[in-house]
Structure 1
Amino acid sequence: MENIMYKPVIGVVMCRNRLKGHQTQTLQEKYLNAIVNAGGLPIALPHALAEPELLNAVVDKLDGIYLPAAPAMCSRTLW
């Protein structure tokens, strides 16, 4: 088994969704798989970490952050 301590830790911001009338936070598997396949260790970052104290405590321990984009964030003509 490979030692995970040498893998870069990448925080992935979770997406807010509504599922069966309940607020949820999700991550798409394709993003997690891409990080793993690139040799990283993905860590979910829930929106509760938006509190400055919590965010600062977590960000210092990450090697990178992935911000998934929503389809409506920019026009397809800009891709």
Structure 2
Amino acid sequence: MLPEQMHINKLLHRLELKLLDGGRHGEGEMVGLVAARLSHARDLDRALRELYGVSGWDAVALKLMWYVEQMRQAVV
């Protein structure tokens, strides 16, 4: 797993727990599924582009793409 994937996985799992604790079980479970899918993706960029195409997830995908780009630039 890439460092970017580990950070995204942590971030999404925190969000999942907050949603579940707040009684928003449907949203929490969905975030958990997305986190699992992204953590197992062989090509993170492609997985994020696919997530962008899912109705309602485009804003999340854009933020995660930006986050990944910022992490990659910080390494250089």
* TM-score interval for Structure 1 and Structure 2 normalised by the shorter chain: 0.3 to 0.5
TM-score for the superposition, normalised by structure 1: 0.34
User: Quick check: which one's helix share is greater?
Assistant: 2
Greater C-alpha radius of gyration: 1
User: Quick check: which one's strand share is greater?
Assistant: 1
Which protein, 1 or 2, shows the higher relative CO under an 8 Å CA cutoff with sep ≥ 6?
Answer: 1
TM-score for the superposition, normalised by structure 2: 0.35
